[in-house]
Amino acid sequence: MDSGEIYYENAEIYQEQVQYTDWIFQYNQLLPSKKTEKIALLQKIFGSVGNDTTLMQPIHANWGKNTFIGERVYSNFNLTLVDDTKIIIGDDTMIGPNVTLIAGTHPLNPELRLKNAQYNLPVTIGKNVWLGANVIVFPGVTIGDHSVIGAGSLVTKDVPENVLAYGSPCKVIKKIENS
């Protein structure tokens, strides 16, 4: 699943995935005031979760174990992680509502899709990034440190560090200068 090569879903993959999706369901049912229980479940679900990280409910993920979340990350509601391979979210990142990070995808060939073929490309979100509401990040994309992605953007290609980028497809608008 991590090679970037085509593979096919099977019963063994499905059985492992169900355990993670059950934990995600449990997390989404917890009362917001149940902070200790929420932290414990996040640590079971994800590859890693940094201190002082907040993920507003609900969250959605294909797995969870393939996502690595830094320190002091804040995500508003409806974060969706198609984490069939690695998704990395850097420290101090802010994620708006309804953001989708996609590491899994399918081939264009219709015969392969009929066989449930899939391949995956990692997604990396740098440190101190702000992803606006309804941003969608495509497989294989890296967003550089300190960049801002405007609301509603479709991020189909890498974005360098220290820039404002937005649009569909997302394009760099300007460099962010320290003022």
Active-site choice (106, 113, 157, 175): 106
User: Is the peptide bond preceding residue 107 cis, with omega within 30 degrees of 0?
Assistant: no
106 catalytic per annotation: yes
Please list, in sequence order, all residues whose beta carbon lies within 8 angstroms of the beta carbon of residue 149, skipping any fewer than 6 positions away.
129, 130, 131, 132, 135, 137, 143, 155, 159, 165, 166, 170
**Separation in Å, CA 95 to CA 7, 91, 98:** 31, 12, 9
Helix (H/G/I), strand (E/B), else coil: 168: coil
Sequence letter at residue 29: Q
**Separation in Å, CA 5 to CA 35, 117, 126:** 39, 10, 25
| Beta-sheet pairing, 100-102 with 104-105 | unpaired
| Positions marked catalytic | 106
